[in-house]
Homo-oligomer: A and B are copies of this chain.
Amino acid sequence: MSSNHEPESNLDFSCPLPITDYKKILLAHGSGGTLTHQLISKVFFNQFQNDYLKSEHDGAVININGAKLAYSTDSYVVEPIFFPGGNIGTLAINGTVNDLSMCGAKPLFISVGFILEEGFEMDELWKIVQSMQKAAKEAGVEIITGDTKVVERGKGDKVFINTSGIGLIDEKINISPSNVKPGDKIILSGTIADHGISILASREHLNFESTIKSDCAPLNGLVEKIFSVTKNVSVMRDPTRGGIASTLNEIAKTSQRDILIHEEKIKIKDEVKAACEILGFDPLYVANEGKMLCFVKENDVDNVLNAMRSHTLGKDAEIIGEVLGETSGKVILQTTIGTKRIVDMLTGEQLPRIC
């Protein structure tokens, strides 16, 4: 924390991260992996202490005057701002819609904060704003408050967008990593790594760019399908930054249970798999923007799977694993060749500015 020779009155001013290693922010602090989690827990949670944050959800669940609400925020800095399958605007709406959905809420209201760089093309802003309205309409949410700031040329990068959102949670629904119990089955709603590879391909102008599209989509419709068959869902999460590996590690860690997943059950499009191999990326760590993981009890799993498959965004849903009795909080992958390996939290930066 602080050196032995510092007087006690200075303790507050010494940063709790091991700043001998990290005196400055690295790109990896935004990767969604180990360094992001260190920054969040040692700097942010160290100061902003409350039970809402401790739940380590995609959003906070609050009770105000009898209304049970989900509340979430995300900033979007994706580069490039337009990519196959969407743009920074669709991402900003769907991302927050999905975070609220993963709390078990029906998303209702969205706030938007723009940080524009001087010189940014008005026409591009106009396209983004149109996409945001279209995405909001599709998800059934309203954009009801906002803010605009402009920074000098070279002090931003075209456009950054923050959205926050409020959703209403049915009293009977209680989604939390702490509900996760041994025997829970894990459903993944579709193919992995589409978003991350689409961004990378369009950033690097790679040849397969045109065939790989981001999966950016609002998940609230799919969540409604799940709740139509059971309210008893342990946890739901959309595996964005850091991919399904990071999301499963977060859940394993918070619930203090081991998770076993089966490689053969995890679907990936041929062209995405090929791109991952060429580029040297493990698709388990690559971001998704329209996929979800859903932990349910064994007696509900078939009903939930069928309900998900009846929705366009869940047609490729599959049971990919289960929660084990062991309490070390590890994620274990059973590979297609029959061996087992630990799937760790990402330590470095894989793809900067993926969302």
* Chain A residues within 8 Å of B, Cβ to Cβ: 12-13, 15-17, 19, 22-31, 36, 39-40, 43-44, 46-48, 50, 52-53, 59-60, 62, 64-67, 69, 71-77, 79, 108-109, 111-123, 125-127, 129-130, 132-133, 136, 142-152, 154-157, 160, 162, 164, 166, 168, 352-353, 355
| The 5 A-B residue pairs with the shortest CB-CB distance in the complex, in nearest-first order | A30-B150, A52-B144, A65-B67, A73-B111, A162-B162
Q: How many copies does the complex hold?
A: 2
Taken together as a complex, chains A and B put the C-alpha atoms of A124 and B225 apart, in Å, by: 46
Asked if residues B71 and A111 are in contact (CB atoms below 8 Å), the reply is: yes
Report the bound CA distance from A44 to B118 in whole Å: 18
> A117–B44 Cα gap in the complex (Å)?
17
Q: Which residues of the other chain, B, contact A19 by a CB distance below 8 angstroms?
A: 122-123
Per DSSP, chain A at the interface is mixed
Decide if A122 touches B17 in the complex (CB within 8 Å): yes
Which residues of chain B have C-beta atoms less than 8 A from A166's C-beta?
62, 64, 69, 71, 166
Distance between Cα atoms of A31 and B53 in the complex (Å): 35
Closest B residue by C-beta to A113: B75
Q: In the complex the two chains form, is B160's CB within 8 Å of A157's CB?
A: no
Task: Evaluate contact between A162 and B75: CB separation under 8 angstroms.
Answer: yes
Q: Which B residues are CB-close (under 8 A) to A48? A: 112, 129, 132-133, 136, 142-144, 146
The complex places the Cα of A136 from the Cα of B66 at a distance, in Å, of 24
Asked if A30 contacts B149 (CB within 8 A), the reply is yes
Q: Which residue of B lies closest to A123 (CB)?
A: B15
A-B contact pairs, 18 of them (CB 8 A): A17-B126, A19-B122, A24-B122, A25-B117, A29-B150, A44-B146, A50-B144, A64-B108, A64-B166, A67-B67, A73-B112, A73-B146, A77-B151, A154-B154, A155-B157, A156-B157, A160-B160, A162-B164
